[in-house]
Structure 1
């Protein structure tokens, strides 16, 4: 299991290899963003009166009696959230409550690097597809309730990290408003690694303005790609085994920002074929389809400096987003991580300067895959102390 998760995490560090050079000079005759095959389960669909509800309101719920957590009660909640343009959407979280309460609540954001709706946590938790399922056992063993949101949203907009933060916060609201779970005003922690850390970090940075009423006591994230665009620039136009993930970011971001990233104006014939090939794929298939390809093979060069495109990527880069978490933070990063350590340190330093207590641990010698386990153990202890009211540590300078 550890080797499998390590492999997945190393792959996830290439999330932006093709994401920045996506514009061109000549349009092609295609029909705009390619969305995933529609979810066949009607539970996921927004009701017609979505506009009558507020962010975090539970729209629909169902009990999941067949689940892999003995003694736990599991629900799935459809709730009102907000997309990147401020419009209402319906999103899903899976809520796991381990026996009688009361319980603190932890929102756990997996590193979902996919474009197909079947890859979402609400499916993968039950069909064996979620590689991080074992991490949930650590949280449940503490007696904590756990919410696992489908933070890529209703179109699997991989790369839209701010969207993921909003869905995470509204998922927490939904869990606390869902009376049968008995969570009420339970104290809240958040945790995520890699792609899941992007959603977690944005949830923390957005919370003071987007969901200030939530009783969040702290959060933990690791291996955070705080600026995927810079990662793309560093990779350059060379064959890369993780090119597919960067290409998938472009596809996912186009779904969320169709006006800012019109890939029809950028893709070569090979690029159109690749977009169609992976439009409904989970991470393994995306990596396999894209391995060894290059930006120049799939994209025409052109107006990659367009301010609208740059603005969309900046809106989803924690390094640039001006919001600052106002609750204690634990962050960890491998000393040899393929995701740039210096960018993560700089972002954490900005939070420190704003008064946020930050404990930043560098795992010596660890890369993106091997850093998760030692940091995750510390993250659980860190959240336990926050729930207990222990003053937060900080190594801010």
Structure 2
């Protein structure tokens, strides 16, 4: 979930430290700049499709070929299917190398699925024990197969903090989520499906690059990936992997109802709802997307299901309200109720340290829902560190918080004590 009202980094950084009046002025300036940047986004569907095509890489047999060994041998989650080193496909910092992998994972029903991912390796010699690993979970890129970040020249988050990790000496293992890159339906906004994809990407990447990647790893994700990363912490409470060291959840969709149907004063981005309907259909086969989408809401649904990605969705539903897109009483649909229950966050125990970040000016994933979920988690005995960045919108929260994420992550690899601030919530 990105490129939506991306505010000025400099102005918002100042806003967090200035006195109240000056802070308000800086935030207003930042939001004005954010709107100007939003105005630069593709305005029409053809423009959006052309923009996405210019960034796209071809879906090659690397992504689509089956695992032939599965016919004769055993299959398990995290099993590596194939790996290749990228050559000139991506725009990455000098010295950073990129690998792609395909591996076995699980969907929300624990069915075997093939998933793709990419690996970013820092420049320089491999340290003793291998590069420490950040298992990255991306925000909404779309639901079609072509919307995989590894099929984008900039890896989707390249300019929003992702490249800062290898620059800081951290390897990145970044799942696409199954159904993106690989064939099949993407179970969009399902914390189980995305959590599995993150976890098993690490095992497959370590098998692809033995000795180059450390066995130790931390999960980190933004937006859709923020929910996925939190889910990893819940899953690891059961899996008890001793090499898992903690989770960072940034602007996570951890309160799904607040994300899908925010309060009027929270802003919100209703153009995500057709993609939520697609993900619900992928999870619950008997779900009828027409039961929750209006005629206007369904108008671009087939395009998003097969070809269009984030920019297309944004252009297709620009100016539409929730009432324009969603059927009345859509929350009463049994599949929607089941999805909301399955995506509930803040109740299950979490293994290891948890960092939860959000932006006070986020109009895509309202900060109120994130903070409420963090507060609920604390009341349920989950120890976490929570921080809100005043005035920051959705993408700037990811970009501006990256130094804090990296410092916190490096503390985990260094074995430093974790401090919870639940008492402040």
TM-score (norm 2): 0.75
1:289-338: CA deviation from partner (whole Å, max 9, x where unpaired):
0122345544544674244430122212324xx43221111111223333
Kept in 1: contact 2:96–2:120 (CA 8 A)? yes
**Residues 1:92 and 2:122 aligned together:** no
Aligned to 2:221: 192
Q: Of the two structures, which has the highest relative contact order with CA contacts closer than 8 Å and spacing of 6 or more?
A: 1
The equivalent of 1:384 in structure 2 is 410
1:108–1:190 Cα contact (<8 Å) kept: yes
> Relative to 1, partners in 2 of residues 1:167 and 1:362: Cα closer, same or farther, differing over 3 Å?
same
Pairing partner for 2:198 from 151, 154, 168: 168
Please report how far the alpha carbon of residue 377 of structure 1 lies from its aligned counterpart in structure 2 after TM superposition: 1.6
**2:116 and 2:178 in contact (8 A); partners too:** no
Aligned match of 1:116: 144
Which of 337, 340, 344 is equivalent to 2:366? 340
Distance 1:146 1:123 in 2: 16
Q: Secondary structure at the match of 1:312?
A: helix
Provide the C-alpha distance between the structure 2 equivalents of 1:3 and 1:76, rounded to a whole number of angstroms: 24
1:209-246 deviations in Å (ceiling 9; x for gaps): 2x42251112212212212223333357x9x8833222
- Mark the runs of 5 or more structure 2 residues left unpaired by the alignment: 9-33, 36-57
1:358 partnered with 2:384? yes
Q: Is 1:173–1:214's contact at 8 Å kept on the other side of the alignment?
A: no
Shift of 1:151: 2.4
What residue in structure 1 maps to residue 176 of structure 2? 150
Contact 1:176 1:184 in 2 (8 A): yes
Q: Secondary structure at the match of 2:262?
A: helix
Deviation at 1:382, TM superposition (A): 0.5
Q: Aligned to 2:300, what secondary structure does the other structure show?
A: helix
Q: CA RMSD in A?
A: 3.1
Contact 1:327–1:356 under 8 Å retained in 2: no
CA distance in 1, matches of 2:187, 2:7: 23
Name the structure 2 match of 1:47.
67
Pair 1:158–1:113, CA change in 2 (3 A): farther
Deviation at 1:287, TM superposition (A): 0.8
1:314 is matched with which residue: 333, 341, 362? 341
SS, match of residue 234 in structure 1: coil
Looking at structure 2, the residues matched to 163 and 179 of structure 1 have their Cα atoms a distance apart, in angstroms, of: 24
Q: Is the partner of 2:82 in helix, strand or coil?
A: strand
Deviates further, 72-81 or 224-233? 224-233
Q: Which of 241, 264, 279 in structure 2 is aligned with 1:252?
A: 279
Deviation at 1:197, TM superposition (A): 0.9
Residues 242 and 290 in structure 1, CA contact (< 8 A), matched pair in contact too: no
| Contact 1:270–1:297 (8 Å) recurs in 2 | yes
Could you say which residue in structure 2 is the equivalent of 1:393?
A: 419
Q: How far did residue 273 of structure 1 move?
A: 2.9
